[in-house]
Amino acid sequence: MTHNDMKSTKVKVDNLYYTEDEEKEIRKRYRRILRAARPFIDDEDVKNIRKAYNISQDAHKEMRRKSGEPYIYHPLEVALICVEEIGLGATAIICALLHDVVEDTDWTLEQIRGEFGDKVAMIIDGLTKIAENFEQSQSAQAENFRKMLLTLSEDVRVILIKLADRLHNMRTLASMARNSQLKIANETIYIYAPLAHRLGLYSIKSELEDLYLKYNEPDQYREIASKLKRRKSAREKLIKDFMKPISRRLEEAGVKFHIKGRPKHIYSIWNKLKKQKVTFEEIFDLFAIRIIIDDLPEDDRKVEKAACWQTYSIVTDEYQPKPDRLKDWISTPRANGYESLHTTVMSQAGVWVEVQIRTKRMDDIAERGYAAHWKYKGNDTSINAPLDQWLNQVRDAFGSGDHSAMQFVEDFQTNLYTEEVFVFTPKGDLKVMRKGATVLDFAFEIHTEVGKKCTAGKVNGQLMPISHVLNNGDQLEILTTKNQKPSEDWLRFVVTSKAKSRIKDLIKESNKVYVSDGKEVIKKKLKHLSIEDTLEIHNQLRAFFNKKDYNDLYYSFGKGYINADEIKKFITKRDATQNKQKKVELEQNDFKNAKNFERAIKKSNGNDTLLIGDDMQKIDYVLARCCTPIPGDDVFGFLTVTEGIKVHRSSCPNAKQLLSSYGNRVIKAMWTSQIQKSYLATISLEGIDRVGMIQDLTKVISNELHINMRSLNIDTDEHIFHGNIKVYVTDTKHLDKLLSHLKNIEGINKVVRQEQMEEEVTVL
């Protein structure tokens, strides 16, 4: 998100910069920061924080956010999040207060360096976006993500402050325009929530995910939130009754503890509803009970571990555990440092309850992540080992190579929300790998030289190919030969960023000749077609052939994967598109004066169209095949290079990547009316088979609702049937009515609208 999205032009209030109430509020927020930080800052820190506060207040004095509030509220709130919710100190507070000063005001980085030193200047530089002077096909967002992420090798506080910045912007997203909300929310779920997860900031990660859902799927968010609220009193009673026998046993054993009961956050529930195709009522673990053990020595891991297992024993003595739900992250913590025992047990009320058992130290680290580790680390370097290891992997994976910003961000993002497998070297050293990692991934994890010569692996003594996927507990030895060379085929099965990055670098080095040849092929063909060889033409070719960068384009031509004659096809299609766009421009004249949605509808005369852009104009568009939107769906327009505007549903499988990487190409789109035109939708059904079931289905669809049916496919297995029906509906309300009628048929257990198969994203 750009900070320009969150503020408007310079404003004065009653010839003053702030009203009297605003000045009081500013001072109140500043004092709250100092109170929260007081336990771990000294007088010199207070002096520097005050200086940063004064600079920020003066620099932003004429600025207001979209909500109308003074802009200074934002850096103050970001600083407060850094202190209260992440646990950072004086340097982070100073940087949070100043994080927009260089980007948005006349202050320079050198002036900041002169006032606060190199460390603060380096962090501020990492938080400052680069100038957005890229070509349309490039992603300014990706370039800024890359700049920020590369600072992991310098100071992780850049990322932590950026997360605080993003959290406050998400909390105040209501004042933004709809297309900006979609862009910012999808950036958040694509990169920032996974970052918070990887850095162990559970509370921030959960809130970012919930806020994403609030703006991306508002109806579903409100529905789940309402159901959780209605069940609050029943949930509290269940927790109280559930804990009575456990509390008594723990007190008898002399264990000091306290209890936290919390519902699963809304995004997590929504994810389960979506993935498992179940109803809200069918989710058995809607909340968790956390037993936190107090007053244990923080430097004695054996005592902590014994206390957790003692508590686990008491819980499972009282309630029957679900055998497959025990998770021991105390013996082997997660890669983000998370430690806890999880089990799911059957309560006396007949409800499954998830129980999490941990010490106060473990809970602090689980909630506040990376920053909390330093509070407990002391002389024990093992405490921070998982996070340090991950950060070293990030630095190593991205410390070399010149891949495109988009490739960089995609590779990084795939390594955030991942589970781990634990494997061992021949000497018994533990290595934590991404789930799905192969023998070849492990070889590159050991060393690049080992990876590029890897020919096979011995896994638990058995010879396995380099593509073999590793499992927890595997012990493996890498076999190498001098003549082995990396190939593009390797990229199909490696999953770690380090392996992908190293393989690409090695291939790029050996393929330079093909890149040069491909560039020459394009040059000659363009000359033959009497077309000027310009960077813009190369950029259009890159987009047309769906290549990530120019080298990828040139290599494909040089290697012969793309024939030179394909360029003529591209030119023909481009010219046709340009002619079509000229026709569209003529059609727009009737809508140039449309000032609002109502007037635009009147102009549309009920035609099947969308109103596009801030001015709500009638513009040609293409419905994206990846999500096939129909009237009534929440949609957005996406400006492509060669195909005009494509309209996607906001819940499209590809929306996260498009909105988070190319937000500057997102356009408002709204339906003018609910037109009686048919759109193909697929419905999945499940239920108990019986005589007359198909007759009842067709009766509801064809006779009662008069809906045309394209196909009906039903499979039965031991009296349980699964089926798909393809029908033509006019809009989402029409479809919802059909789903409601189908659910009332005897024997039907589940009826859902089936999402379209996700296509490969082509950013044209």
| Catalytic, out of 23, 25, 69, 103 | 103
Is there a contact between 764 and 644 (Cβ–Cβ < 8 Å)?
no
Q: Count CA atoms closer than 13 A to 290's CA, side-chain side.
A: 17
For 192, which DSSP code?
I
Is the Cβ–Cβ distance between 553 and 518 less than 8 Å?
yes
Instruction: Please give the structure tokens belonging to residue 263.
Output: 């519902």
3-class SS of residue 197? helix
Query: Which H or E run includes 342?
Result: strand 341-346
Instruction: Please confirm, yes or no, whether 755 is among the known catalytic residues.
Output: no
Integer Cα distance of 481 and 453 in angstroms: 6
How many other CB atoms sit within 10 Å of the CB of residue 322? 16
Residue 742: both structure tokens together = 């189908």
- At position 511, the amino acid (one-letter code) is N
Q: Could you confirm whether 104 is annotated as catalytic?
A: yes
* Under 8 Å between Cβ of 698 and 654: no
Q: Which long-range contacts (CB under 8 A, 24 or more apart) does 209-212 make?
A: 209/265, 209/267, 209/268, 210/265, 210/266, 210/267, 211/170, 211/171, 211/173, 211/185, 212/170, 212/185, 212/186, 212/188, 212/267
Instruction: Round to whole Å and give the CA distance between 391 and 389.
Output: 6
Which of these is catalytic: 22, 25, 104, 477? 104
Q: Do β-strands 666-667 and 622-623 pair in parallel, antiparallel, or remain unpaired?
A: unpaired
Helix residue ranges per DSSP H, 38-135: 43-59, 73-81, 90-98, 101-104, 109-116, 118-127
**Three-state SS sequence of 434-474:** ECCCEHHHHHHHHCHHHHHCEEEEEECCEEECCCCECCCCC
> Quick one: CA torsion of 342, 347, 351, 353, rounded to 10 degrees?
-20
Q: Return the active site residues.
A: 103-104
